[in-house]
Amino acid sequence: MSLKTPVTLLFFFIGALFGTALGAEDLKVYFKTSPRLELLRPFADPIDLSLLITGADGRPVKQGSVAVRLGAPAPGRFFSTDFPLVEGTLLNEMRLPLRQGKVNWKYLFPIRGEYRLAVDVVADDGRKVSKAFSFKVRENRKKWLTLAAFSAGLFVLGFAAGRIFTGTTGKKTASMIAVVLLAGTTAILNAQPDGAAGPAGLEIEPATVGKPSLVRWGLTSAGEASRTGFLTLTITHLEKQKVVFSVEKVPVAGEWSMKFHFPDGAEYRVAAVAQVPGEEPIRYQQLVSVTGVEPPVKAMVPALSYFVAVIALGLGAGRWSKRRAAAR
């Protein structure tokens, strides 16, 4: 056998290997937020998120679709976040069509921690790529200052109680003061569900904190086939008057749906506006009352233990200070 056949096979395998590698890198995914990632804070303002899909030559992929999955941060080691039931859950799942290589949406991050964004791209020519992004949302500095001030207040109250009751009513009264102070640091919020059904064209599953709900919008009319329109959908937190999610002018033929996690037991407004060429805008709106769920005990124990420790430290410091003064 001549050397021609082995050399041909060698070049064939090398070509196949590099061809596969080039095909995997044929599509590139870029993720961007506005403002920048280091400036993001939980439940502050809605953030502009965008994905840019390009080919190996850097040109945007004009047509295709992008599936997006946003995962919440894992539970913290000690202190829980403002919404413990949201931790480690699916926050948003949807599919958006590419427009000049881009997809854009707004989202209000509910808690601090490291988020995970999984992206699956399918171009019209059959090319596919998957990519995952991780980014951190830091806690608002005001909350850390509030925690420090509250802790200092508990310590001062414990210190005063330790000085006042040392040598008079003894340890029992000091312990009762600590229990009263501890009871004042806890609050449990209960929300009632609203069973009102939304108008035709906009369907939302009953929302409960701790799991995502299906939001479905359909551009259909009785006796007519589905039409194509441009959908703008906005979810607003009514109590705080903040937009928590928004997509604008998404091309939709017939129906569009997503999974969305309402983070707290509050009331939200879901508004949809469809622009159909040659027709008046079609508007739908529905109020959603989210069912609140009591946080698990394991999420409350660390914080309560911390407050008890601060109070106990104040009591001990107060008793020591009073006894030292009496000894003099």
Q: What is the CATH number of the domain that holds 208?
A: 2.60.40.10
Q: Is 320 within 8 Å of 160 (Cβ atoms)?
A: no
Kindly state the helix (H) or strand (E) to which residue 307 belongs, with its residue range. helix 297-327
Whether the full predicted model's pTM is greater than 0.85, yes or no, is no
Strands (E), the chain: 27-34, 47-55, 64-71, 90-97, 102-107, 113-123, 128-137, 202-204, 213-218, 228-237, 242-253, 255-260, 267-275, 282-289
Q: Is 45 within 8 Å of 75 (Cβ atoms)?
A: no
Q: Judge if 312 and 182 occupy the same domain.
A: yes
Q: Is 321 within 8 Å of 303 (Cβ atoms)?
A: no
Flag whether 14 is in a domain.
Answer: no
Q: Is 41 within 8 Å of 98 (Cβ atoms)?
A: no
Query: Could you tell me the pLDDT band of residue 80, with boundaries at 50, 70 and 90?
Result: low
The most confident of the ranges 34-43, 199-208, 233-242 is: 233-242
Strand partners, 107: 47, 245
Q: For the chain, how big is the Rg over CA atoms in Å? A: 28
Q: Judge if 50 and 132 occupy the same domain.
A: yes
Q: How many structural domains comprise the chain? A: 3
| Amino acid 195: pLDDT | 36
Q: Is 256 within 8 Å of 273 (Cβ atoms)?
A: no
The most confident of the ranges 22-26, 123-127, 321-325 is: 123-127
Q: Which amino acid is at 298?
A: K
Q: Among 33-47, 174-188, 191-205, 294-308, whose mean pLDDT is lowest? A: 174-188
Q: Is 123 within 8 Å of 277 (Cβ atoms)?
A: no
The arithmetic mean of pLDDT across residues 255-266, rounded, is: 93
Q: Judge if 261 and 168 occupy the same domain.
A: no
Q: Judge if 48 and 119 occupy the same domain.
A: yes
Q: Judge if 234 and 315 occupy the same domain.
A: no
Instruction: Look up residue 268 and give its DSSP letter.
Output: E
Q: Judge if 34 and 121 occupy the same domain.
A: yes
Flag whether 194 is in a domain.
Answer: no
Kindly state the helix (H) or strand (E) to which residue 223 belongs, with its residue range. none
CA distance 201 to 57: 42
Query: Could you tell me the pLDDT band of residue 132, with boundaries at 50, 70 and 90?
Result: very high
Flag whether 195 is in a domain.
Answer: no
Residue 168, pLDDT above cutoff 90: no
The arithmetic mean of pLDDT across residues 97-102, rounded, is: 92
Give the residue, 268 or 77, on which the prediction is more confident: 268
Query: Could you tell me the pLDDT band of residue 146, with boundaries at 50, 70 and 90?
Result: low
Q: Phi first, then psi: what are they for 113, rounded to 5°?
A: 125, -170
Flag whether 84 is in a domain.
Answer: yes
Three-state DSSP class for residue 147: helix
Flag whether 207 is in a domain.
Answer: yes
Q: Is 269 within 8 Å of 238 (Cβ atoms)?
A: yes
| Amino acid 245: pLDDT | 97
Query: Could you tell me the pLDDT band of residue 162, with boundaries at 50, 70 and 90?
Result: low
CA-nearest of 94, 10, 1 to 49 is 94
Q: Judge if 105 and 228 occupy the same domain.
A: no
Q: What CATH number has the domain bearing residue 84?
A: 2.60.40.1940
Token pair of 313 as six digits? 């430290």
Q: Judge if 130 and 90 occupy the same domain.
A: yes
Distances (CA, A) of 149 to 82, 117, 315: 18, 35, 18
Flag whether 164 is in a domain.
Answer: yes
Kindly state the helix (H) or strand (E) to which residue 12 belongs, with its residue range. helix 4-24
Token pair of 272 as six digits? 């949809």
Q: Judge if 212 and 243 occupy the same domain.
A: yes
Asked which of 123, 139, 155 is the last residue of a domain, the reply is: 139
CA distance 136 to 133: 10
Inter-helix orientation angle 141-165/297-327, to 10° = 40
Flag whether 277 is in a domain.
Answer: yes
The whole domain housing 247 covers 202-289
Q: Is 27 within 8 Å of 127 (Cβ atoms)?
A: yes
Q: Judge if 63 and 77 occupy the same domain.
A: yes
| Amino acid 303: pLDDT | 60
Query: Could you tell me the pLDDT band of residue 231, with boundaries at 50, 70 and 90?
Result: very high
Strand partners, 106: 48, 246
Residue 14, pLDDT above cutoff 60: no
Query: Could you tell me the pLDDT band of residue 221, with boundaries at 50, 70 and 90?
Result: low
The arithmetic mean of pLDDT across residues 131-153, rounded, is: 73
Q: Judge if 176 and 123 occupy the same domain.
A: no
The most confident of the ranges 179-188, 288-297, 314-323 is: 288-297
Q: What is the mean pLDDT of the chain?
A: 77
Asked which of 103, 119, 139 is the last residue of a domain, the reply is: 139
Instruction: Look up residue 26 and give its DSSP letter.
Output: S
Q: Judge if 59 and 133 occupy the same domain.
A: yes
